[in-house]
Structure 1
Amino acid sequence: MSTSDSPAERRPFRPDVLDLGDVLLRPWGRALDLPGGTVAALTAAAADQEIARWNPLHDAVHPAGAEAYLDRADQGWADGGTACFAVTDRADGRLCGNVALIWTDRGEGVAMVGYWLLAAARGRGLATRVTDAVTRWGVRTAGVRRIELYHAVGNDSSCRVAARAGFPYEGTLRASYRHGDGPYHDEHLHARLASDPGAAG
């Protein structure tokens, strides 16, 4: 039996820093210090139209909502159920985006991954790299067995990220999720297994 097949090996997520060379994945929370202020960086990200369209960040456009987001991130780390990372530029520390791994059924070893990037960080393969990195980290450190990735059917860029990051398409979920634009969207389900080639490297 492999590590990821053993329920005893499915562990809580614990704060960590992942070094990808040009960017660092750093835990979101009150202790995170970003240039110009973490709350200001988060409110600016929440106001980005593409991020707002596909992600549940609408409350974070206001400082109180951004602070609540940071508190939820701290709580997620504290209870081990959510690993929420700020993607930051190594050179200047500025925010590039977000990637998160969430236990959806820890007993069965199933987690979900999600991400968003600021406009300046798009178009260079960064979403693929951070998704791959946090997936490998979850398998290695927490015994995740299956990682699922969902995106609205109209979100073509996320579909490409999923394919490049090794998450094959598994099906379409009808009227599955209410995104930032209001209505429920059909979603594509992609997934990656710990047993897939390279998933635990």
Structure 2
Amino acid sequence: MSTTDRRTALADAAIDLIATRGIRALTHRALDTALDLPAGSASYYFRTKRALIEAITDRITTRSRDDFTAAQLTLSIPTDPYGIAHAIASWLDRLLAERRNHLIVRHALIIELIGDPELHHRLTHSLFSIERARDLFRALNFPDPDVAAADFIAVVEGAVFDRFAGARTHVPAGTPGSVDQLATLLSRYLAQPRSL
């Protein structure tokens, strides 16, 4: 296994460990055990816990960008608010179905790292693109696309949190009902008046 592959495997194992056992369970020794590696292997690749958390952040960010690209979610999606909301909701539903552990760990670390401005910023920007949201609201002729984009990211963040850890955890991801619930919520924001 290459160094890059081993580092990725360790980051993935760290994500699963935090998601199932909590942030306090994240130790180099626990990772060695989880991957059945010789003692000291995890610390060889990541000397400090912060280095390990940086690797987790990078892994979540890279996977998010790759998934977004693979989804081909671009401005060529329909121009009606519900069509746009449905396309975004389909992508979010896949995120909830396939990357639940990433969502849990990202939120746990965002709270844990409030006092670390650099890593906190990287985590808060690791899942959703403010630039792409701004492009969307420019295309929709919202009067202030910067504010609209930031507000929409807040809505999306809240909707995703609600589904994996909030009041709507009972809605199963990967179902038409899941996509419809998200699309209905998002379309309300996208249909807001475009001028004052």
User: Which structure would you say has the larger Rg?
Assistant: 2
Name the structure, 1 or 2, with higher relative contact order (CA <8 Å, separation 6+).
2
Same fold (TM over 0.5): no
Greater share of helix: 2
Greater share of strand: 1
